[in-house]
A and B are shown apart, each in its own frame.
Chain A
Amino acid sequence: MKEISELNFPDDLRYTEDHEWAKQEGKQIRIGISDYAQDQLGDIVFVELPQVGDTFAKGAEFGTIESVKAVSEVYMPLGGQIVAINEALEDAPELVNNEPYAKGWMIVVNPSDINEFDALLARDAYLEMLKG
C-alpha cells in the first residue's frame, strides 16, 4: 500500500468518509471511489453496479467491489436516481485501480437534494480525515 502522500486527490471533487468521490457535472453527479480506497482494496477483479433508473437514499449501498481477497460495499454519497453506469467495468474492473477518477468512475446520479452534495467533504477535509 502507498503512503497518503503518494496518492492523488483532485481538489475539484468532494469525498465521503467511506472513500467515495463525487463530482458535479451540470445538474448531475458522477461517483466513484478514491485513490486511497482502490489502493487499500488491491487488485479489483469484479464490480457490481445498480441498474439505470434505480433510486437510492444517501448512504445506501449501490454496488459492490470485489478484490482478490475480499468484497466491499460502495455507498451513495447523496440520494438520487441512477442515470448512467460505467459498463466498461464489467470487462475491465482494473480501471478502478488504474484511473479511479477517470475511466474508473462507477455511476452518474440525478440528485434528489443538491444540498447533500454541498455537505460532502472537500479535498482538504478528506485528507485530514485520512491522516487521522
Chain B
Amino acid sequence: MEKLLKTVLCDRHQSHGAQMMEFGGWYMPLQYSGGILDEHLATRNSAGLFDVSHMGRFVIGGRDALPFLQYLLTNNAQALDIEKSQYTLIPNENGGAVDDAYLYRFKDGEYLLVVNASNREKDWHHLQSHKGRFDDVQMTDKTKELAMLSLQGPLSKDILSSIITAGTLPDPARNALSTVQINGSEIQLARTGYTGEPICFELFIRRKDAGMIWDLLTEKGARPVGLGARDTLRLEAGLPLYGHELGYDPEEKEIPIFASRASRFAVSFSPLKGSFIGRHALAEQFKALKKIMDQDYSLIDHLPRLIMPVAIVAKGVARAGFKVFHQDRHVGYVTSGTMVPFWQSRGTGVSFRLTKEKSLRGICLALLDSNLVKGDELQIEIRNKRTRAVIVPYHMSSKTPPFAKAILWNRL
C-alpha cells in the first residue's frame, strides 16, 4: 500500500484518543474518544475544531491568474474583492464536476484554491494541462507547507477572539477574510466552513505554527472533531460532497453540476467572465433548471435528476447507493445518508435556544427525478425492505444565529 500522508497535527490527534483512518491518501482522525455523535452535538452547541490540512491548497499567481481562473472555474473570480472568498466548481466540458472548490483572495496578486483531498492530484494535473493557453500563470502546491483548521459553532467567535494578539476578525459576513497575528504568527482567517453553522471560521497557518494554534484553541474549549462528524454535519447542512452529490451517480452517469443546490450560486454566465470550460453545457442545465422550478419539464433531459434533501419518516437508515421509489417507480438513489443527532430547541427569533435534550433522526440527500417536489412521499429500499421517506426543503436552518436549528420533517 502507498504510504499515507500525515498532517502536521497527527501526533495531537492520537494524543486526543483519535481513531485514525485512511482518507484521500491521508492518515486522518475518524473520531476522537467521545465519538461521532458527541462531536456533532458539541459543534452545534459550542465549538468544533477540525484539522482539514488534508485538503489540497494551491496558490495561483502571475499576470494571467484571473483569466486562468475565469476559464477553469465556474464562478466569477473577477467579482471577488480582496478579503473575500467564493464557492466554485472545476467543471469539465460536459457540465460535470472535476471537483468543487473554494477560492480565497487574501491579498492582491494571488489566489488560494482549496480542493478535495482525494482530488488534489487530479485537479493539479487538470489545471496544469490548461496553463499553456495563458502566458503568465504560476501555480504552487502549498498543501504541505500550509496547515488548515476549521473552527465551527456558536462559541467559535469568542474562542478565536480570545487568542488573537493583533488584527481583527473578518467582517461578520459569510466568505469575508482577514489576516491576524497570534503570538507573532501570521494567520489567515476566513468566515467559511462545511457545517452550516452560522458562526464559522477556517484558518490558514504556516506548518510550524499549527500545533501552537491547535493547542490554544483546544485550551479555550474548542472540541476536536474528526471526519466522521464532519460528514454528518455537512449532510445535515445539505452540503455536497464530491463522490456523492458531485461526480458520478451509482449508475456511473455523470451528475450535472446544476443538480447540486450549492452550485446555483457558484456558476456565473456574466459577460465579464466570457467563455469557460463547460459553459455551453452549463447554460443548457441552467435553462432547464429555471423551467423545472416553474414545474415546466420540457427541458428535463438536460437535468434529469436533482439532489434533494429527504427525511426518513419510518424506521431504518438510508445509505449511499440505496434505491428510491415514488409510487412504485424507481426515481433515483440516496447519495449520502445516515442518522444524525440534534439538540431539541425552543422559542423563535431572539428567544431561540437549544435545550439539553438530544435526539436522533434519519436523513439523507438523494439524486431524484427532477419532476419530484418537496412534500412528495418516497420509499427507500433498505436491504429488500422499503421504508417511508419524504422530500423536505432542508434539514437545518442557519437563520437563528448563533445557533443552527434542526428542521424536522413533521414540524415544517
Q: Do A and B come from one complex?
A: yes
Task: Mark A residues whose CB is within 8 Å of B.
Answer: 1, 42-43, 45-46, 48, 64, 66, 68-69, 71, 90, 93
Q: List B1-54 residues whose CB lies under 8 Å from chain A.
A: 19, 30-31, 35-38
Please name 9 pairs of A and B residues whose Cβ atoms are closer than 8 Å in the assembled complex, sorted by A: A1-B19, A43-B35, A43-B36, A45-B339, A46-B315, A46-B316, A68-B36, A68-B228, A71-B317
CA distance A71 to B338 in the complex (A): 10
B360 at interface by CB-CB < 8 Å = yes
Report the minimal beta-carbon distance from A92 to chain B, rounded to whole angstroms. 10
The residue among B37, B38, B232 with the most chain A CB atoms within 10 A of its own CB is B37
* B315 surroundings in chain A (CB, below 8 A): 46, 48, 90
Contact status B31-A66, CB under 8 Å: no
Which residues of the partner chain A approach B232 to less than 8 Å between Cβ atoms? Answer: 68
**Ordered nearest first, which 3 A-B pairs have the shortest CB separation?**
A45-B339, A43-B37, A66-B317
Nearest chain-A residue to B34 (Cβ)? A43
Question: Does B383 touch A at the CB level, under 8 Å?
Answer: yes
Interface string of B323-367 (1 = CB under 8 A from A): 000000000000000111000000000000000000010100000
How many angstroms between the C-alpha atoms of A46 and B339 in the bound complex? 8
Cα(A125)–Cα(B123), bound, Å? 51
In the complex the two chains form, what is the Cα distance from A48 to B382 in whole Å?
A: 12
B305 at the interface (CB under 8 A from A): no
Given contacts A68-B232, A69-B228, contact A46 B35 (CB under 8 A): no
Q: Which residues of A contact B191 (CB under 8 A)?
A: none
Q: Does A68 lie within 8 Å of B338, measured CB to CB?
A: yes
A26 to chain B, nearest CB (A): 32
From A42, A66, A90, A93, contact of B35 by CB (8 A): A42
Question: Taking the nearest CB of chain B, how far is it from the CB of A88, in angstroms?
Answer: 15
Residues of A within 8 A of B35 (CB): 42-43
Cβ contact within 8 Å between A68 and B37? yes
Give the interface of B toward A (CB within 8 A): 19, 30-31, 35-38, 228, 232, 315-317, 319, 338-340, 360, 362, 383
Question: Are A68's CB and B339's CB within 8 A?
Answer: yes
Q: How far is the CB of B290 from chain A (nearest CB, A)?
A: 37
When C-beta atoms are compared, the residue in chain A nearest to B31 turns out to be A42
Q: Are A69 and B338 in contact (CB under 8 A)?
A: yes
Known contacts A64-B383, A68-B37, A69-B36; is-contact A46 B228 (Cβ 8 Å)? no
Q: What residues on A are CB-neighbors of B38 within 8 Å? A: 43
A66 to B337: give the CA distance in the assembly, Å.
12
**Residue on A nearest B39 in the bound complex, by CB:** A43
Q: Which residue of B lies closest to A46 (CB)?
A: B317
A93 and B31 alpha carbons, distance in the complex (Å): 19
**Chain B residues closer than 8 Å to A64, beta-carbon distance:** 383
Q: Which A residues touch B316, using CB under 8 A? A: 46, 48
Roughly how many angstroms separate A64 CA and B384 CA in the complex, as a whole number?
13
A69: which B residues are within 8 A, CB to CB? 30, 36, 228, 338
* Other 11 A-B pairs with CB < 8 A, given A45-B37, A68-B37, A68-B232: A1-B19, A42-B19, A42-B31, A45-B317, A46-B315, A46-B360, A46-B362, A48-B315, A66-B317, A68-B339, A69-B228
Partner of A45, one of B19, B338, B383: B338
Cβ contacts under 8 Å, A48 to chain B = 315-316
- List of B residues within 8 angstroms of A71 by Cβ: 317, 319
Closest to A61 in B: B383
- Give the residues in chain B near A66, CB-CB below 8 Å: 317, 339
For A45, the chain B residues whose CB sits under 8 A away are: 37, 317, 338-339, 360
- The distance from the CB of A81 to the nearest CB of chain B, in whole angstroms, is 22
Question: What residues on A are CB-neighbors of B317 within 8 Å?
Answer: 45-46, 66, 71
Which B residues touch A68, using CB under 8 A? 36-37, 228, 232, 338-340
| Nearest B-chain residue to A66, judged by Cβ | B317
Whose C-beta in chain A lies nearest to the C-beta of B359? A91
A93 and B36 alpha carbons, distance in the complex (Å): 15
- Chain B min CB distance to A19 (Å): 17
Shortest CB-to-CB span from A85 to chain B, Å, is 14
Residues of B within 8 A of A93 (CB): 360
A67 CB to closest chain B CB, in angstroms?
A: 8
- Please report the C-alpha to C-alpha distance between residue A68 and residue B232 in the assembled complex, in whole angstroms: 8
Distance, CA A71 to CA B322, complexed state (A)? 13
Q: Give complex CA distance A64, B316 in Å.
A: 10
**Roughly how many angstroms separate A46 CA and B360 CA in the complex, as a whole number?**
9
Q: How far is the CB of A66 from chain B (nearest CB, A)?
A: 5
Q: Which residue of B lies closest to A70 (CB)?
A: B319
Chain B: CB-nearest residue to A1: B19
Q: Looking at B19, B36, B317, which has the most chain A CB atoms within 10 Å of its CB?
A: B317
> What residues of A have a CB within 8 angstroms of the CB of B30 in the complex?
69
**B340: which A residues are within 8 A, CB to CB?**
68
Q: How far is the CB of A60 from chain B (nearest CB, A)?
A: 15
A48 CA to B362 CA in the complex, in Å? Answer: 14
Q: How far is the CA of A93 from the CA of B360 in the complex (A)?
A: 10
Give, as a whole number of angstroms, the nearest-CB distance from A61 to chain B: 10
> What is the bound-complex CA distance between A45 and B36, given in angstroms?
11
Q: Are B36 and A42 in contact (CB under 8 A)?
A: yes
